[in-house]
Amino acid sequence: MNRSEKWREHLRSMIVGILLLVLICLCVIYILSFSGVEEFEFSAQDMEAVSNESIRYQYLDYWNRDFVSPAFIGFSWKKLGDNVGFYTLGGENEDVYQSVLPFFEKLFGKEGEMEKLSRNAGEKLFHSLMKGSYIYLSYACDLPTSVICSLTEEADFSGESGEYISEILIVPEEYLWQTEIQTLTGETEKTVLYSFYAVARDRAGNYYRYSTKFLPKTPTDIAFHTNFYLTYNEAEDCLPYEFAYVLKQDDFLQKTNFSEKVTDTTIIPLGNISHSAPVVFAESRIASGTDMNPILENFYMNPEQTTSYTDENGVIFYFDEGQTVSVAPGGTLHYSSHGPQGISLETVFGWHTGEKEYAFFDYLGAALIASHQLKDAHSKTNCKLYLAGIDYDGEALTIRFGYAAGGFPLYFNGEKTIMSFTFSGDMMQSAEYRFWTVHMTALVSEAPDFLLTLRAHLDVADEQKRYFYGYYFSKERSRVGIDVLSIPQTEKE
Amino acid sequence: MSWKNLKIFAIITLLVMDIVFAFFVIERRYSVSYYDDTLIDSAITVFSASDLHVDRSFLEAKKKMPAVYTGKITSTLFSEVTEAMERGGYQIQEDTGGMRFVGETDEFFFGNDFIFTYISAEGIKLPSVLLEEGLWVALSDGEEKTSVFQTAIDFLKSKALISDTFAHYSYDISCRYVYRLGGNYIVHLIQSVDGMALESGLYLLISDGNVTCADGTFSILLPKDKKSAENADLLNILFAEKAYIASLDKNTSDYTVSDISYSYGLYFDSDDTFYLIPLCKITYLNGEERVYNFVSGKLYA
């Protein structure tokens, strides 16, 4: 075989190889084209996730501590001194709230387990824990644990989940070890670490015990230890307190049936330490020149197309395509829609949602957007909006908001709700807004002595009430500092 | 048979098989990109029976397979705009849902969801609101339209709002309509990426040769990544439309598809990633428009 023949032979071999390779490739491509193995970098499933996220994106900016923070956080370590607490409504003392959020992740998250307790067993356990070492959190209303967890890293916005609770006691369970850890203020302290569990209850008297599979393994893991107490008992704003249930009663209190007239978790400030808070101005009126256009626009009504009518009681009605806004002379605005109409969530979000079914959090998000728009349209107040109630009757979901100043709630003629929104299906069907012009002034006033005021109340009290610091406004009281307020235990706020 | 002849035989056989399989692959590719004639005929018959009339040409055209584009909203990407605004004497204010740039006489708002507002005077009506009044007349192509469009572009450039620094893909801004009322104009601008327009656009009001206010959706940030996307089937969308029409009152007008067009809709992730998702718009002769997400196949608007 000469040289050129050898080359030809090599060339033939190469051609056979190449053709064989091409054939294999073509076979594979052909087969794959039927099996649907074609990989997309962005699938319909990814789209579903992004679609849900896009709705959330519209309200995440409003979802902050002002909205879901507790009304009060207390720390107790029995051997170390008086309990200390902070008023935290409306996002006040947010670092305190931030420090306890990791507990929620472990108790209400994937690692958490819940056991419902009977009323008797739950109350007994709750009362016994109130006398020991704990971290106590009290919310302004019953909230599902998924909402309480919504500011943690394990927040799950997919839907309403967990029990509605308003008070939580986080307590030590088992001794783990003693170590030196850095306090929240940066100092190194010796401490004893414990595993933890929680007992929570709602306003109706349902009790739950929450445990976690999580066990702290390093000093930086979340654990129950002394440093929460040691950090906060030196803080400037901290309030030494005792629960009414645990308070040592003097003769006067015993004579007035203190335990029967004051709820167990009423916070009684101790000693002569005075608590100061900003003076708040609030006025309920609609000036004759009040421009209603921005408010009507908030309900997506066209002021130029609305027709108005005033009835014999002075209530002004604005009508626009099946929607009505009425404003009573007392300063309460009602929005309502007729029949299945209303304001779609798509309109509130300003986002194309197609045929999406909304999750519980989407309704909360829509209410948040609507509340901020209404607040901005009427009074650009420096008070904070907080979640004051969630009611669901099986068909309609009502979300209520109140105002807070300096960590304390504002009450208007005995009501804490300043605005509420009711949703049904994918529509906002009604809303209510009280026309109160509210703002925190630069003035600061001393809080009245809690126990002294309480003694005066007890003389005339005929039912069990929860007592707390707050602002109370009425026609006669427009510029006030904090006062001791009370709510009957049986009354749904 | 000698070894040499065997190789020649193998080459011929493999070549024939390669050609046959190449034909199958091409035929398969074609069938993926185009609907089969028989299928089109059957579908059109079924649609017609439900008063949905679709021209064959819409189904005979090559199937659209648009990609998804993504980008990240970062402060670095915003810096070019913020620096330009600061140089122009604007004060930056963080606001719920976006950023506000407040100047001595005017104000910009850039929403995190790309909502854009510009106001140069208190109480001025936004162009999208003015258009709803129905008094404005659309201009046809010509020198006047080009000149007004150029004024709008010059304004955006002067504020550093048009920049291709971060554009990884073919990016364009075009004029969809120019409307006139007296001496005032409203320009409707549309952004497009790789030749496909973003669904919503920006409206600018021009009075005395100056932009006095603007509103709409405007993406200052441009996508950085392109992803192959699972696309919805146009036939499935039309079958969804058939079901929609069947659910309507029978006295409603005849539903004849006058146009099927594609655009990009904006979506967002909570980690500040934005997505340009293909949308498919079905327009009927009666003026009704229905838009579908072209990835999920679900109704968008």
Mutating which of A1, A18, A21, A26 best tests the B interface, going by the most B Cβ atoms within 10 A? A26
Distance in angstroms (rounded) separating the CA atoms of residues A459 and A457: 5
Asked whether residue B241 falls in the same domain as residue B289, the answer is yes
pLDDT of A243 strictly over 90? yes
pLDDT of B232 strictly over 60? yes
- Res B163: pLDDT: 66
Q: How many CB atoms lie within 10 A of CB A165?
A: 24
pLDDT of A418 strictly over 90? yes
Query: Are A352 and B265 in contact (CB < 8 Å)?
Result: yes
Mutating which of B28, B135, B230, B281 best tests the A interface, going by the most A Cβ atoms within 10 A? B230
Are A295 and A333 within 8 A, CB to CB? yes
- Res A36: pLDDT: 58
Q: Does residue B171 lie in a domain region?
A: yes
Asked whether residue A292 falls in the same domain as residue A187, the answer is no
Asked whether residue A90 falls in the same domain as residue A172, the answer is yes
Asked whether residue B115 falls in the same domain as residue B211, the answer is yes
- Res B250: pLDDT: 65
Q: Does residue B96 lie in a domain region?
A: yes
Q: Does residue A362 lie in a domain region?
A: yes
- Res A229: pLDDT: 84
Q: Does residue A7 lie in a domain region?
A: no
Q: Is B15 on the interface with A (CB under 8 A)?
A: yes
Asked whether residue B186 falls in the same domain as residue B285, the answer is no
Asked whether residue B211 falls in the same domain as residue B188, the answer is yes
- Predicted TM-score (pTM) of the model is 0.79
Q: Does residue A206 lie in a domain region?
A: yes
Triad A464, A467, A468: Cα angle to 5°: 160
DSSP three-state, residue A461:
coil
Q: Does residue A39 lie in a domain region?
A: no
pLDDT of A383 strictly over 60? yes
pLDDT of A129 strictly over 90? yes
Q: Does residue A258 lie in a domain region?
A: no
DSSP three-state, residue A428:
strand
Q: Does residue B146 lie in a domain region?
A: yes
Least confident of A271-275, A442-446, B212-216: A271-275
User: How much helix, strand and coil, in percent to the nearest 5, is found in chain A?
Assistant: 30, 35, 35
Query: Are B299 and A354 in contact (CB < 8 Å)?
Result: yes
Residue bearing the bigger pLDDT, B228 or A182: B228
Tell me the chain A residues in contact with residue B122 when contact means C-beta distances shorter than 8 Å: none
Nearest CA among A72, A105, A139 for reference residue A387: A139
Secondary structure (DSSP) of A377-393? HH---SSEEEEEEEEE-
Asked whether residue B203 falls in the same domain as residue B109, the answer is yes
Asked whether residue B299 falls in the same domain as residue B243, the answer is yes
How many structural domains compose chain B?
A: 2
Nearest CA among A277, A258, A275 for reference residue A85: A275
- A contact set with B (CB within 8 A): 9, 12-13, 15-16, 19-20, 22-23, 26-27, 29-30, 33-34, 39-44, 46-48, 50-51, 53-54, 56-58, 60-62, 350-352, 354-356, 372
Q: How many angstroms separate the most distant Cα atoms in chain B? A: 96
Range of B147's domain? Answer: 73-217
- Res B184: pLDDT: 92
What pLDDT digit, counting tens, does each position of B137-171 carry? 998 888 899 999 999 999 988 887 876 555 567 77
- Res A360: pLDDT: 86
- Res B253: pLDDT: 63
Asked whether residue A79 falls in the same domain as residue A217, the answer is yes
Domain boundary among A399, A415, A440: A440
Asked whether residue A77 falls in the same domain as residue A226, the answer is yes
Asked whether residue B299 falls in the same domain as residue B190, the answer is no
Q: Does residue B210 lie in a domain region?
A: yes
Range of A80's domain? Answer: 67-243
Distance in angstroms (rounded) separating the CA atoms of residues A155 and A167: 20
Triad A404, A410, A415: Cα angle to 5°: 130
Asked whether residue A155 falls in the same domain as residue A232, the answer is yes
- Res B247: pLDDT: 84
Least confident of A39-48, A87-96, A230-239, A465-474: A230-239
Asked whether residue A232 falls in the same domain as residue A326, the answer is no
Asked whether residue A338 falls in the same domain as residue A421, the answer is yes
Asked whether residue A305 falls in the same domain as residue A378, the answer is yes
Mean pLDDT confidence for A76-81: 84
Asked whether residue B87 falls in the same domain as residue B48, the answer is no
pLDDT of A146 strictly over 70? yes
Secondary structure (DSSP) of A241-257? EEETTTSPP-HHHHHTT
- Res A281: pLDDT: 92
Q: Does residue A489 lie in a domain region?
A: no
Query: Are B300 and A352 in contact (CB < 8 Å)?
Result: yes
Asked whether residue B51 falls in the same domain as residue B113, the answer is no
What pLDDT digit, counting tens, does each position of A271-327 carry? 766 678 899 998 886 666 667 888 888 888 888 888 888 888 888 899 888 889 998
Query: Mean pLDDT over all residues of chain A?
Result: 86
CA B155: distance to chain centroid? 23
Domain boundary among B217, B243, B258: B217
Least confident of A444-458, B21-35, B206-220: B21-35
Distance in angstroms (rounded) separating the CA atoms of residues A65 and B142: 55
Mean pLDDT confidence for B262-284: 90
pLDDT of A402 strictly over 90? yes
- Res A158: pLDDT: 67
Domain boundary among B188, B217, B246: B217
Tell me the chain B residues in contact with residue A46 when contact means C-beta distances shorter than 8 Å: 295
How many structural domains compose chain A?
A: 2
The CATH number of residue A342's host domain is 3.30.310.160
- Res A354: pLDDT: 62
Asked whether residue B79 falls in the same domain as residue B209, the answer is yes
Distance in angstroms (rounded) separating the CA atoms of residues B222 and B81: 13
Asked whether residue B188 falls in the same domain as residue B114, the answer is yes
Give me the residue from B11, B68, B296 closest to A48, CB to CB. Answer: B296
Please state the φ and ψ torsions of residue B27, each to the nearest 5 degrees: -60, -40
Asked whether residue A218 falls in the same domain as residue A85, the answer is yes
Domain boundary among B217, B248, B282: B217
Give me the residue from B11, B230, B275 closest to A19, CB to CB. Answer: B11
Asked whether residue B281 falls in the same domain as residue B244, the answer is yes
